[in-house]
């Protein structure tokens, strides 16, 4: 074969490679036309409050058992319906307010260990797919004796650039009704409501055969009763209701990297999240996970997460003077703190069956005496059939 002739193959191949789909497309995620049934049982246990940080009440905190059942079924060749039920039972005591100790140090006052609650959540997702785009409509309802919530969502994605780029978007809203128990005895508000509306846009790019990059930007507005009816704040020797602004705006940005390494047969998942709201809470989260394939469809996933946030502008552990704006909250979730957590997960997939087992331990540190430490154990089972 002489040079001029072989150049025909080169020229035609080069022209063919410019055609869409002539290069290997990234795998999209079409409905797999399978029925899948998933069940997950988790036990979440908060560590007791240390004796030197406890003012009054029980040191024992929440234990929550969660059962999650999910069922996905194809509706047509390009649509599927997912329904899920979550059942939670919780018991234990929760932080009530913070009072100054003899030396002015903050001490946590706990509610009596009498709380015993159940929560049920139902969710439905309807997903419709075609070769270049997909949309999902979602609905949810959650109920417990003092709280009800209804939510709706709409999300979608467009796949562009021979499936190498995915643009995603979504909007969601929820309506909550809060009617605290024992309101009269404990000076709690009644018949409160809360609304939430949010929207997000995202982009995911297949950068190389083994690298995936994505960025998501979200914005939410909350309106209504945003305080915690079961918490109080210590102000000049008295306690008052937890009282926060009736409006909050949130912005969050997520950046993630998925990098597969062929040598060890594993993938690095790196995620950074930035969150800010108009109560002046800023937070940063960095999470690193390693997905190691072990052969025979076993997978081991260690991960670590670091979290850091600043306090809300009106937050104090307790108040020595009254505030002109009337906002008071000593909720540890509004305080300045950082937290680390580690998780180890093991999973195994059989032909139609899979299971996973995970353990997570979390510890927060800061100046609030009620900051959390918890352990979480979960077992997941899945079954797929046609």
Partner 1 sequence: MPSSNATPQLHSAAFNAMGSRCEIQLYGPKATAKAVAARAVECVRALEAKYSRYRADSVTARINAAAGSGHAIEVDPETAALLDYADTLHEQSDGLFDITSGVLRKAWDFKAERLPTDEQIATLLPLIGWSKVDWQAPFVHLPEAGMELDFGGYVKEYTADCVADLCRASGIEHGLVNLGGDIHVIGPHPDGSPWQVGIQHPRQPNAAIARIPLAQGAIATSGDYERYMMVDGTRYCHLLHPATGHSLHPAFASISVVAARCLIAGSFTTIALLKSPEEPQWLSEQGLPYLTTDQQLRLGGSLETGVRASNTPTPMPSASVQ
Best CA proximity match to 248, nearest among 314, 191, 187, 204: 314
Beta bridge partners of residue 222, listed in sequence order: 196, 248
Torsion angle of the four alpha carbons 18, 24, 25, 30, in this order, in degrees rounded to the nearest 10:
140
Main-chain phi, psi angles of 234, to 5 degrees: -90, 115
**Does 1 engage in binding with partner 1 (CB under 8 A)?**
yes
**Smallest gap, in angstroms, from Cβ of residue 29 to partner 1?**
10
Question: What does the alpha-carbon distance between residue 288 and residue 276 come to, in Å, rounded to a whole number?
Answer: 21
Using a 10 angstrom Cβ sphere, with 0-12 exposed, 13-18 middle and 19 or more buried, the burial of residue 73 is: middle
Which 3 state secondary structure label does DSSP give 152? strand
**Does 386 engage in binding with partner 1 (CB under 8 A)?**
yes
**Does 34 engage in binding with partner 1 (CB under 8 A)?**
yes
**Does 102 engage in binding with partner 1 (CB under 8 A)?**
no
Q: Which helix (H) or strand (E) holds 15?
A: helix 3-17
**Smallest gap, in angstroms, from Cβ of residue 211 to partner 1?**
18
Among 13, 114, 132, 365, binds partner 1 (CB under 8 A): 13
Q: Which is nearer to partner 1, 163 or 259 (CB)?
A: 163
**Does 6 engage in binding with partner 1 (CB under 8 A)?**
yes
**Smallest gap, in angstroms, from Cβ of residue 353 to partner 1?**
10
**Does 15 engage in binding with partner 1 (CB under 8 A)?**
yes
Among 118, 236, 282, 297, binds partner 1 (CB under 8 A): 297
**Does 51 engage in binding with partner 1 (CB under 8 A)?**
no
Using a 10 angstrom Cβ sphere, with 0-12 exposed, 13-18 middle and 19 or more buried, the burial of residue 332 is: buried
String of contacts with partner 1 for each residue 208-237, x by CB under 8 A: ------------------------------
**Does 8 engage in binding with partner 1 (CB under 8 A)?**
yes
Size of site (CB under 8 A) for partner 1? 40
**Smallest gap, in angstroms, from Cβ of residue 81 to partner 1?**
15
Among 9, 215, 253, 286, binds partner 1 (CB under 8 A): 9
**Does 304 engage in binding with partner 1 (CB under 8 A)?**
no
Beta bridge partners of residue 318, listed in sequence order: none
Tokens for 8?
């025909």
**Smallest gap, in angstroms, from Cβ of residue 379 to partner 1?**
19
Q: Which is nearer to partner 1, 58 or 82 (CB)?
A: 82
Q: Which residues of 119-151 are buried (b: 16+ CB within 10 A; e: fewer)?
A: bebebebebbbeeeebbbebebebeeebbebeb
Question: What does the alpha-carbon distance between residue 8 and residue 1 come to, in Å, rounded to a whole number?
Answer: 11
Q: Which is nearer to partner 1, 24 or 103 (CB)?
A: 24
Q: Which is nearer to partner 1, 160 or 340 (CB)?
A: 160
Q: Which stretch binds partner 1 (CB under 8 A): 18-26, 42-50, 168-176, 211-219?
A: 18-26
């Amino acid at each position: 074969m002489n040079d001029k002739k072989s150049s025909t193959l080169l020229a035609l191949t080069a022209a063919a490679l410019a055609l869409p789909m002539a290069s290997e497309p990234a795998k999209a995620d079409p409905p797999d036309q399978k029925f899948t049934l998933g069940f997950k049982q988790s036990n979440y246990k908060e560590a007791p409050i240390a004796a030197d940080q406890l003012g009054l009440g029980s040191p024992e905190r929440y234990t929550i058992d969660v059962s999650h059942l999910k069922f996905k079924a194809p509706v047509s060749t390009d649509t599927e319906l997912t329904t899920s039920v979550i059942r939670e039972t919780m018991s234990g005591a929760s932080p009530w307010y913070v009072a100054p100790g003899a030396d002015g140090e903050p001490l946590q006052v706990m509610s009596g260990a009498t709380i015993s609650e159940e929560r049920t959540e139902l969710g439905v997702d309807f997903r419709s797919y075609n070769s270049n785009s997909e949309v999902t409509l979602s609905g949810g309802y959650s109920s417990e004796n003092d709280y009800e919530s209804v939510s709706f969502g709409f999300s979608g994605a467009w796949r562009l650039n021979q499936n190498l780029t995915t643009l995603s978007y979504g909007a969601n809203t929820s309506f909550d009704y809060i009617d605290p128990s024992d309101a009269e005895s404990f000076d709690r508000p009644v018949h409160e409501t809360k609304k939430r509306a949010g929207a997000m846009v995202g982009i995911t790019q297949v950068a190389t055969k083994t690298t995936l990059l994505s960025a998501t930007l979200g914005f939410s507005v909350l309106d209504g009763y945003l305080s915690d009816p079961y918490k109080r704040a210590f102000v000049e020797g008295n306690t008052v209701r937890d009282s926060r602004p009736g409006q909050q705006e949130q912005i969050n940005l997520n950046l993630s990297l998925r990098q597969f390494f062929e040598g060890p047969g594993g993938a690095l998942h790196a995620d950074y999240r930035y969150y800010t709201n108009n109560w002046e809470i800023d937070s940063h989260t960095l999470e690193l996970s390693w997905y190691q394939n072990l052969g025979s469809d076993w997978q081991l996933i260690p991960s670590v997460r670091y979290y850091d946030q600043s306090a809300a502008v009106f937050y104090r552990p307790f108040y020595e003077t009254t505030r002109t704006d009337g906002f008071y909250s000593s909720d540890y979730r509004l305080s300045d703190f950082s937290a680390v957590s580690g998780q180890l997960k093991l999973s195994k997939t059989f032909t139609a069956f899979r299971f996973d087992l995970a353990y997570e331990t979390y510890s927060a540190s800061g100046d609030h005496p009620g900051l959390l430490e918890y352990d979480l154990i979960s077992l997941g089972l899945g079954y797929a059939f046609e």
